[in-house]
Amino acid sequence: MSLLELKSISKIYGDLHALDNVSLKVEKGEWVAIMGPSGSGKSTMMNIIGCMDKPTSGQVLLDGVDISKESDRNLTAIRRDKIGLIFQQFHLVNYLTALENVMVAQYYHSVPDEAEAMEALRRVGLADRAKHLPSQLSGGEQQRVCIARALINYPELILADEPTGNLDEANENIVLEIFRQLHAEGTTLVVVTHDPEVGEVAQRTVVLEYGKITREIHNESFEAKTAPALAEARN
Amino acid sequence: MFFRMIRGAFVRQKGKMLMIALTIALGASLATAMLNVMLDVGDKINQELKTYGANITVVPKSSSVLNNLYEVEGGEEAQEAFLREDELGKIKTIFWAFNIVDFAPFIDTTADLDSGEEVRLVGTWFNHHLDLPTGEMLDTGVANLRTWWDISDGVWLDEQAESDPNAAMIGAMVARREGVGAGDTLHVKTRYGEADLKVVGVFDAGSDEDEEIYAPMDLVQALSDTDGYLTSIEVSALTTPDNELAIKAAKDPSALSVSQYETWYCTAYVSSICYQIQEVITDSVASPVRQVADSEGAILEKTEFLMVLITILSLVGSGLGICNLVTASVMERSNEIGLLKAIGAKDSAISGIVLTEIVLTGIVGAVIGYFVGFGFAQIIGHTVFGSSIEMKAMVIPIVAMLTVAVTLAGSIPAIRMLLRLRPAEVLHGR
Amino acid sequence: MTKQKMFLRMITASLVRRRSRMLVALLAIAVGATILSGLVTIYYDVPRQMGAEFRNYGANMILVPSGNDAAFNMDAVEETLGYIKPDQLVGVAPYRYETVRIHEQPIVAAGTDMEGAKATSPYWHINGAWPDAAGDILLGQKVADQLGLKPGDTLTVSYAAEEAEPAAEPKTDAQAGETNRLDAASQAEGQEESGADEAQTTGEDYVPDASLDMMVTGILETGGSEEEYVYLSMEDLNGLTGGSDKLDVVELSVSADQSELKQYGSDIENNVDDVTPRLVKRVTESESTVLTKLQALVFLVTAVVLVLTMICVATTMTAAVTERRKEIGLRKALGASNRSIIGEFMGEGLLLGGVGGLIGAGLGFAFAQAVSMKVFNSSITFQPLLLPVTIVVSVLVAGCACLLPVKSATEVDPAVVLKGE
């Protein structure tokens, strides 16, 4: 069974068909990039997968559960338990430290555990910045805090919306490296992006145009690229 | 473009601008209500204090100097000085005529009752209707000057409705001693005549007035052969609390300089009103009743002062409130200001746009607030005093200035702070 | 770490690290609470303070002898005062009226306690000084005019017993000249004055029993009948007349409302044999009328100011919360339930309300105290109940002001909030 399955979903705003009869399957442990220009329906798709929106028609199965008919309340619970979100604008709580921002996710999920949160920050290489406020961190660092926060509850699926959109190249590489690492550990990743470089590093790239999937690319050189980049990041 | 941006701000940020306008309107209405009430409270309380009765008494000149205590023995009355009844209307023609709320003339004599007791018989106006030379009409008399009388039996004598010229009101002590009540008749006899008084009401005054009989002016004048004459006049006037000048003037008006004299004469001090009454009533001495005049002054001053302080508190409160909100709303726009700066707007241009927006909002709020506040003032006036609060023109500029000052004070420091930030900082992360 | 600890950690972080924004909200609440506690304190204290001002009008209760022939002395007065709360008693002035002769003119002399007279009749204008030693005398304005005396002059007061002890006879028209009498002292005066008339009519054979040289310290101006008397100390008058310590009337100035005064009146009437209390209606009735209005005024003003201030506080709080819609959206995206978000924001709002209320209660009392000292020259009574009330009201207002915007923010889709700006 696939972890995520979209069965011919459509999202219609008035006359606009943001998504038009789209079907997609994401297997457990897969790294999928969803690409497309602005207005192609990426964000709508991301919102639907992230349980923040419901399709006008069609079914969304997450871990075998149809989430397209769930109430808002249940969607919140599903999102909390199964999905880790990473945003383009990072969206950190600006008056909480890096560590506390990670702990907020724990707090809503189950019980805050400072040591575990610290460990998550260490994984993204921010152990020494744990007590800093978002305003004291660089964009890349903020995004890494955001990733640590997304990871902390061991979600089934990490959903990233333009994770490198606000970052310079060096930071972009660091983030991508963390994704590779996560993938290596078996985490399922769905990355929404318009950046071909980010799309290319994924296992599979789905191209969305005018609300429809027009192409699907399987990245053959995927495994080969992993090792050197990882080594680079660790230096 | 400037106007387009401002219009844009209003349309797009409708909710926020509405919130600011609402808060400013609240503050302005508070300021309007409090200022209007504060400026009018003196007059209102002054009116209320009239319940204590007359604050000026007018007596004939000779009697005031050589008091008549020892000369009123029967038969000597001819020597006594009197005031003239036909001059009474002139009291309402003095400079401060408008401040004369009520007055009542008195003529008194003594009368013998059938029981052999001697009582003081007082002739006066109860609710006398007066057509003044100025065309005004006035109902005045003891009904207004003795509000504390408790009518224990019967009713107040209504001069205008009462057809019996011998109607009278008697004090509670007299009523008890003579065993008469409302509806009974009481025979009185003086040196010059006698009359059967029809008792309309019995009053309990809690003072020596309980030993007296009050009857219409004409009747008592006839019974004492003093037609057209009065022994005293009580005047109830709205006055301004005394100050140094008034105290100095009260001692001797001629000691004042010309300008001081003018100020004094044209201010409603009790002493200047007394002076003006003396000018129109021949051979009279008008003197303030210290017990009433002084206490009035003290209470008026305290009440006004109290209201001033409460007003200041509420003004400071609403000022801080508005300032607060304006600062918060400007701070919130850091992104927009950063962006404007990034695309090359000059500091002055940015400040101009933001300030114009806020001040425009403030003016809209202030106008609404003024009318709402005026409504609040009227509610207070009608509920407490049963009359409307006068609309004071000076409140408008005060409220306008206050609103503008407060909005500027709230926005300028915030704008300056935002301008000091570098655009990159504002736009990238917080 | 427990959830509660994290909850507190987030709230304190929000309060401490968003310092300037929080100060704005706190300031708004504190200002509101200051106005609340200040005005309510003033509202409660105004009747008392203003009541004291109304004592300017002088005595509101007088004691006269029970029955025509009865007399009473200070012992009966002391007994009477036992029925009145000491802190409400503004002044007690005993008066004894006797007819004396000054410059061969019969004049009514009142013996009194000058300190008491000062307290019960604050409206007396003295040109010169109050008498403060034996042998000092205060002349009424009319007496001074009649005798041509001014402060600093000396005079001789003489007294003849048979002249001053008339039989209890009906009142004569001696009173007729009085225009502005308030007190029932007239009964006694009437007798004395009729004595004076008698003396005048009995002619030249006046032989004083005693005489006293006195110095005029001041001239009394009131615009009322007091100007027709001279005032000297009780000791001097008793010395002059020889022995007797009877009183004709005692004026009391009591800082109490009409119903309380009536209660005192009936207590005294029922328990003290020698004296009959009477309320000075003009003063008590008018005082209750005016005081009621004043209290209504302060009440309404307080109500209007409070309502407007509270709305002002609420809009500021609302603005402070609305500003954080994005944060609310983020928390929702992270999987927070609406309940827990509302809980966190309310926690902050309530904490702010509590702290603001506490600060405001203190400042408000300070303000009321300052007003009281400035306006009435006396300190205000602290209403202990007002502290919790102010805090509770502040918390409620802050809470309600938070609740609405937080609720509306939680209803918005997190995606919309996070995407937009």
DSSP string, C371-416: HIIIIISSPPPP-TTHHHHHHHHHHHHHHHHHHHHHHHHHHS-HHH
CA C73 to CA B93: how far, in whole Å? 52
B324, closest residue in chain C (CA to CA)? C24
Dump the DSSP string for B297-332.
HHHHHHHHHHHHHHHHHHHHHHHHHHHHHHHHHHHT
- The answer to whether B374 and B393 have CB atoms below 8 angstroms apart is no
Q: For residue C14, which residues of chain A lie inside 8 Å, CB to CB?
A: 95
Tell me if A18 is assigned to some domain.
Answer: no
Report pLDDT for C392: 92
Rounded to a whole number of angstroms, the distance from the CA of C36 to the nearest CA of chain B is: 10
Does position A230 have pLDDT exceeding 50, yes or no?
no
Averaged confidence pLDDT in chain C: 80
Cβ separation B317–C123 shorter than 8 A? no
Q: State the nearest Cα–Cα gap between A129 and chain B, in angstroms.
A: 17
Question: pLDDT at residue B75 above 90?
Answer: no
How many other CB atoms are found less than 10 A from the CB of residue B423? Answer: 16
Nearest CA in chain B to A133: B430
Q: Is B116 on the interface with A (CB under 8 A)?
A: no
Query: What is the Cα–Cα distance from B39 to B32, expressed in whole angstroms?
Result: 11
**How many independent structural domains does chain A possess?**
1
* Chains in contact with B, counting 3 or more C-beta pairs less than 8 Å apart as contact: A, C
Bridge partners (DSSP) listed for residue B193: B190
Q: What is the DSSP string of C70-97?
A: --B-HHHHHHHHTTS-GGGEEEEEEEEE
Helix (H, G, I), strand (E, B) or coil at C274: coil
pLDDT of B423 reads: 64
Residue pLDDT, tens place only, B275-331: 899 989 888 888 888 888 888 888 888 888 888 888 888 888 878 877 877 777 777
Q: Quick one: which H or E segment has residue B107?
A: strand B100-113
The pLDDT-based confidence of C180 (bands split at 50, 70, 90) is very low
Tens of pLDDT, residue by residue over A185-223, are 888 999 998 888 888 888 899 999 888 888 888 877 666
Range of the domain at A76: 27-55+69-234
- Answer whether C2 sits within 8 Å of A149, measured CB to CB: no
pLDDT of residue A222: 66
B430 touches chain A (CB under 8 A): yes
Spatial distance between the Cα atoms of C406 and B303, rounded to a whole number of angstroms = 44
Contact C415 A52 (CB under 8 A): yes
A8 within domain boundaries: no
Q: Is residue A135 part of a domain?
A: yes
What is the CATH number for A93?
3.40.50.300
pLDDT band for C270, please (50, 70, 90 cuts): confident
A135 to chain B, closest Cα gap in Å: 6
Q: Write down which chains contact chain A via at least 3 CB pairs under 8 A.
A: B, C
Predicted pLDDT of residue A225: 52
Contacts of A139 in chain B (CB under 8 A): 428-429
Give chain C positions within 8 Å (CB) of B310: 39, 42, 298, 301, 305, 371
Minimum CA–CA partner of B42 in chain C: C294
Residue C359: per-residue pLDDT? 93
Residue A118 has pLDDT above 90, yes or no: yes
Q: What is the DSSP letter of A220?
A: T
Instruction: State the pLDDT at residue B233.
Output: 92
- Interface contact C415-A149, CB threshold 8 A: no
Verify whether the Cβ–Cβ distance A94 to B430 is below 8 Å. Answer: yes
d(CA A75, CA C265): 77
Q: Which chain B residues contact residue C24 at CB under 8 A? A: 324, 327-328
Alpha helices in chain A (DSSP H): 42-49, 72-82, 98-109, 114-123, 139-151, 169-184, 196-200, 222-234
Inform me whether the pLDDT recorded for B406 exceeds 70. yes
Residue of A nearest to C324 (CA): A93
Residues of A in contact with B428 (CB under 8 A): 139
Mean per-residue pLDDT of chain B: 82
For residue A142, list chain B residues with Cβ-Cβ distance below 8 A.
429
Residue A70 DSSP class: -
- Among C1, C326, C340, the residue with its CB nearest the CB of A108 is C340
Predicted local distance difference test score (pLDDT) of residue A122 = 92
Confidence of residue B10 (pLDDT cuts 50, 70, 90): low
Q: Is A5 domain-assigned?
A: no
What residue in A sits closest to C339 (Cα-Cα)? A73
Which of C275, C285, C211 has the alpha carbon at shortest distance from C249?
C275
What pLDDT is attached to residue A235?
A: 44
Residue of chain C whose alpha carbon sits nearest to that of A46: C415
3-state secondary structure of B197: strand
Torsion on CA atoms B328, B333, B335, B339, rounded to nearest 10: -140
Percent above pLDDT 90 for chain C:
6
Question: How far is B5 from C109, CA to CA, in rounded Å?
Answer: 87
Is residue C191 scored above 50 in pLDDT?
A: no
Handedness of CA B23, B27, B30, B36 (dihedral sign): negative
Beta carbons of A93 and C413 less than 8 Å apart: no
Answer yes or no: is pLDDT of C109 > 70: yes
If you average pLDDT over residues C204-225, what whole number do you get? 80
CA C391 to CA C30: how far, in whole Å? 10
**Spatial separation of the C-alpha atoms in residues C212 and A86, rounded to whole Å:** 107
Whether the Cβ atoms of residue C138 and residue C218 lie closer than 8 Å to each other: yes
d(C-alpha C196, C-alpha C205), whole Å: 14
Asked if A135 lies within 8 A of B428 by C-beta distance, the reply is: no
Scanning C221-337, the segments in alpha helix (DSSP H) are: 234-241, 258-271, 281-322, 325-333
Q: Which chain A residue's Cα is nearest to C332?
A: A76
Three-class secondary structure of residue B182 per DSSP = coil
pLDDT of residue C80: 85
Strands (E), C320-373: none
Mean pLDDT on C400-413: 82
pLDDT tens digits for range B136-175: 888 888 888 888 888 888 889 888 887 788 899 999 888 8
- What residue in B sits closest to A135 (Cα-Cα)? B430
Closest residue in chain B to residue A88, using alpha carbons only: B429
Question: Per-residue pLDDT tens for C136-146?
Answer: 899 988 888 88
Under 8 Å between Cβ of B167 and B197: yes
Work out the minimum CA distance from B425 to partner chain A, whole angstroms.
Answer: 9
Q: Provide the pLDDT for residue A148.
A: 92
Is residue B419 scored above 90 in pLDDT?
no
Kindly identify which residue of chain B lies nearest to residue C195, measuring between CA atoms: B70
- Single-letter code of the amino acid located at C272: V
The strand pair at B167-171 and B193-204 is best described as: parallel
Tell which B residues from 390 to 429 touch A, by Cβ distance under 8 Å: 428-429
- Cross-chain residue pair A90–B429, CB shorter than 8 Å: yes
pLDDT in tens, B198-232: 999 999 888 888 889 999 988 999 888 888 888 89
Other CB atoms within a 10 A radius of the CB of residue A28 amount to: 14
**Cβ contacts (< 8 Å) between B429 and chain A: which residues?**
90, 134-135, 139, 142
**Contact at 8 Å (CB) between B206 and B53?**
no
Do the beta carbons of residue C81 and residue C94 sit within 8 Å?
no
Which among C38, C181, C376 has CB closest to B313? Answer: C38
Contacts of C174 in chain B (CB under 8 A): 69, 72
What CA–CA distance (Å, rounded) separates C362 from A68? 56
Exposed/middle/buried for residue B172 (C-beta within 10 Å: 0-12, 13-18, 19+): buried
Q: Is the pLDDT of residue B416 over 60?
A: yes
Instruction: Work out the average pLDDT over B343-347.
Output: 77
Contacts of C10 in chain A (CB under 8 A): 96, 100, 104, 107
**Mean pLDDT (whole number) for C93-107:** 86
> Rounded to whole angstroms, how far apart are CA atoms B397 and B399?
5
| Chain A residues with a Cβ under 8 Å from any Cβ in chain C | 43, 47, 50, 52-53, 73, 76-77, 79-81, 85, 87, 89, 91, 93-97, 100, 103-109, 111-114, 133, 149
Hey, are the CB atoms on A76 and C337 less than 8 Å from each other?
yes
* Spatial distance between the Cα atoms of B140 and B138, rounded to a whole number of angstroms: 6
Q: Distance (Å, rounded) from C-alpha B110 to C-alpha B189?
A: 9
pLDDT at B424: 61
Instruction: Tell me the count of B-C CB pairs closer than 8 A.
Output: 270
Strand-strand pairing, B185-190 and B193-204: antiparallel
pLDDT digits (tens, 9 = 90+) for B358-374: 888 888 889 999 999 99
Nearest to C333 among A43, A52, A133 (CB): A52
pLDDT at C182 over 70: no
Q: Can you give the pLDDT at residue B9?
A: 66
pLDDT of residue B2: 67
Chain B CB contacts of C179 under 8 Å are 57, 59, 106, 231-232, 234
Structure tokens at B19: 């919130």
The pLDDT score that the predictor gives to residue C163 is: 56
pLDDT of residue B115: 85
Q: What single-letter amino acid sits at C297?
A: L
**Which of C312, C325, C394 to mutate against chain B (most B CBs within 10 Å)?**
C312
Query: A207 CB contacts (<8 Å, ≥6 apart)?
Result: A35, A36, A213, A214, A215, A216, A217
Tokens of B33: 């209500």
B233 contacts B88 by C-beta, under 8 angstroms: yes
pLDDT score at B389: 86
Q: What is the DSSP letter of B209?
A: G
Residue A223 pLDDT: 60
pLDDT in tens, C111-124: 898 888 888 888 88
Q: Is residue A64 part of a domain?
A: no
The one-letter amino acid code at C179 reads: T
User: Is residue A20 assigned to a domain?
Assistant: no
